[in-house]
């Protein structure tokens, strides 16, 4: 995940001294991870016929907020606080590895949303 964070950060601007792109990258990675976690939970409940409290959308919104805040808190300490170390670790990658890294990043982002869409059509 650190590599994807680095690639997204580089995609925003790539400046190590400016913390705004690093924050945006952390938030965007956290949103994608939260969507994946919530999708997996809903699929798990659907396939194993576990009753999921869908009496109102308030429960779903509350669970989503809790999961998102937990993921964002973890990523704050795992990614944002260590952004200089992550930058130093991956700055010397070759041009080919950089292109492959961007492809992996975009496939991960697009794949996450496609996965959530397919899961929502299966569940509904």
Q: Where are the domains of the chain?
A: 2-123
* Residue (of 109, 107, 113, 105) closest to 3 by Cα position: 105
Whole-angstrom Cα distance, residue 52 to residue 69? 21
pLDDT attached to residue 15: 58
pLDDT for 14 equals 58
What pTM, to 2 d.p., does this model score?
0.85
User: What is the pLDDT, as a whole number, of residue 45?
Assistant: 82
9-28 burial: b if 16+ Cβ within 10 Å, else e: bbeeeeebeeeebbeebbeb
The whole-number pLDDT of residue 60 equals 76
* Regions of the chain with pLDDT less than 50: none
Query: How much is the pLDDT for 17?
Result: 58
pLDDT at residue 54 in the model: 57
pLDDT of residue 92: 93
Quote the tokens at residue 27: 């938030």
Distance, CA of 5 to CA of 21 (rounded, Å): 11
pLDDT of residue 59: 77
d(CA 35, CA 15) in angstroms, rounded, equals 28
State residue 97's pLDDT score: 94
If 0-12 CB within 10 Å is exposed, 13-18 middle and 19+ buried, where does residue 115 land?
A: middle
């Amino acid at each position: 995940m650190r590599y994807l964070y680095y690639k997204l950060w580089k995609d925003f601007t790539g400046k190590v001294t400016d913390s705004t792109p690093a924050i945006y990258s952390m938030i965007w990675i956290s949103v994608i991870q939260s969507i994946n976690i919530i999708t997996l939970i809903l699929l798990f409940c659907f396939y194993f016929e576990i009753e999921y409290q869908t009496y109102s959308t308030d429960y779903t919104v509350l669970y989503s907020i809790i999961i998102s805040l937990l993921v964002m808190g973890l990523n704050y300490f795992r990614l944002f606080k260590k952004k200089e170390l992550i930058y130093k670790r991956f700055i010397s990658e070759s041009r080919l590895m950089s292109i492959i890294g961007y492809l992996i990043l975009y496939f991960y982002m697009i794949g996450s949303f496609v996965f959530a869409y397919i899961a929502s059509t299966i569940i509904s």
